[in-house]
Amino acid sequence: MTLPELKDKGLLLLECISGSRAYGLDTPASDTDIKGVFYLPKDQFYGLNYISQVNNETNDEVYYELGRFVALLLRNNPNMLELLATPGDLVLYRHPIMETLRPELFLSRLCRDTFAGYAYTQVKKARGYNKKVSRPMAPERKSVLDCCFVTEGHQSLPVAEWLRQKGYRQEDCGLTAIPHTKRLYALFHRPGAGYSGIVSGMDANEVRLSSIPKGQWPETYLYFNQESYSAYCREYREYWEWVAKRNDARYQGNKAHGKDYDAKNMMHTIRLLQVAEELLRTGVLNVKRPNREALLAIKRGEYEYEALLLMAEELMGAIRQAAKTSPLPEQPDEQQATALLVKLRQQLYT
């Protein structure tokens, strides 16, 4: 099923402009995101080829099947509630039967966790972005040797430095495990002895053991900090995957404001928390935000990173407080929503 097929076959139920333009936070550089709702032909819905979502390659146009849409509304999914509550001037198409599907049927105190919970994950994401920007990783990947240390008197010394001082090659060294210890090895050195080396190569993920003839004494003892090496490898992989996938224009914009955080992400985090507090306090979901300039100031990088984290924490506290006296029900009426969904399908399929 493709987007043109949805429209050609008359399966579209709702189509709205979403994202920054719906929030009133668009700028001349903003993309136009579209979200919508569709239904499947009767034979496809009852058959084995159920499709819950259709989108284009760039994911800036996403449409949800009616049943999937209602299921997400019952969970108070922020994107779905905002789609259903899209301001009228941004609704491109609305099928008459969608008039009975109103936000009030689904708004509940679950938004305390869904809106604020999603925003909290964005705060964590921003912390991760901050770490990646402020602590970039060198393209050259470290090796196991960089996490190996040898004993030197009462101290330890990186094995690479020890090899340099001694004028040794790691290939002329041999290791044997020391019983009842973890990652501690006896290190032997003898050129031409046929030792296996400390590692098999710079791409190795483990040290290498050798068969040492009896009667030979180790020069020192080596410790491999495998936990540190594993953590480094994970961070290295995540960092360079992030570099490969990041939106470079957005990244350069974040570099330009010099605050080392994803400003657009933090703007939407604060927006979402403000929406959650307002929704719990008043029982009304307002998609378009009244404080456009204040939010765009965050996007421009006019706030310090720690100040935004403090703002987010204060909003989370206000959300917890508003939830205690909210006019919203604890959760949506699933039975009522299910009955409405069945009724809508019956109307569509007759």
Q: Are residues 1 and 101 in the same domain?
A: yes
Express each pLDDT in 285-313 by its tens digit. 999 999 999 999 999 889 888 898 899 98
**What's the rounded Cα separation, in Å, for the pair 116 and 119?**
5
Q: Are residues 116 and 258 in the same domain?
A: yes
Q: Are residues 272 and 125 in the same domain?
A: yes
Query: Which has the closest alpha carbon to 316: 349, 256, 261, 272?
Result: 272
Span 8-17, mean pLDDT? Answer: 95
Express each pLDDT in 47-61 by its tens digit. 888 999 999 888 889
Q: Are residues 97 and 111 in the same domain?
A: no
Give the end of a domain, one of 207, 231, 255: 231
The pLDDT of residue 350:
87
Range of the domain at 2: 1-106+332-350
Span 29-58, mean pLDDT? Answer: 91
Q: What is the 3-state secondary structure (H, E, C) of 168-196?
A: CCHHHEEEEECCCCCCEEEEEECCCCCCC
pLDDT of residue 209 exceeding 70, the answer is: yes
In a domain, 238, yes or no: no
Contact 207, 199 (CB under 8 A): yes
Q: Are residues 189 and 214 in the same domain?
A: yes
Q: Are residues 260 and 294 in the same domain?
A: yes
The pLDDT of residue 215:
86
Return the percent helix, strand and coil in the chain, to nearest 5: 50, 15, 35
CA atoms within 13 A on the CB side of 39: 21
Specify the range with the lowest mean pLDDT, choosing from 73-82, 154-163, 236-245, 273-282: 236-245
In a domain, 127, yes or no: yes
Q: If you search the block for the tokens 């040290």, which residue do you land on? A: 207
Which band of pLDDT confidence, cut at 50, 70 and 90, is reported for residue 139?
A: confident
Q: Are residues 343 and 309 in the same domain?
A: no
Number of domains comprising the chain: 3
Q: Are residues 223 and 85 in the same domain?
A: no
Q: Are residues 51 and 119 in the same domain?
A: no
In a domain, 296, yes or no: yes
In a domain, 293, yes or no: yes
β-pairing, 33-38 with 61-65? parallel
The larger pLDDT score, comparing residue 122 to residue 29, is at 29
The pLDDT of residue 273:
94
Q: Is the whole-model pTM more than 0.85?
A: no
Span 154-171, mean pLDDT? Answer: 94
Span 172-201, mean pLDDT? Answer: 94
Phi-psi region of 180 (alpha: psi -120 to 50; beta: other; left: phi over 0): left
pLDDT of residue 134 exceeding 70, the answer is: no
The pLDDT of residue 77:
95
In a domain, 188, yes or no: yes
In a domain, 340, yes or no: yes
pLDDT of residue 228 exceeding 80, the answer is: yes
Q: Are residues 97 and 157 in the same domain?
A: no
In a domain, 236, yes or no: no
β-pairing, 12-18 with 33-38? antiparallel
- Give the phi and the psi of residue 270 in degrees, each rounded to 5: -65, -40
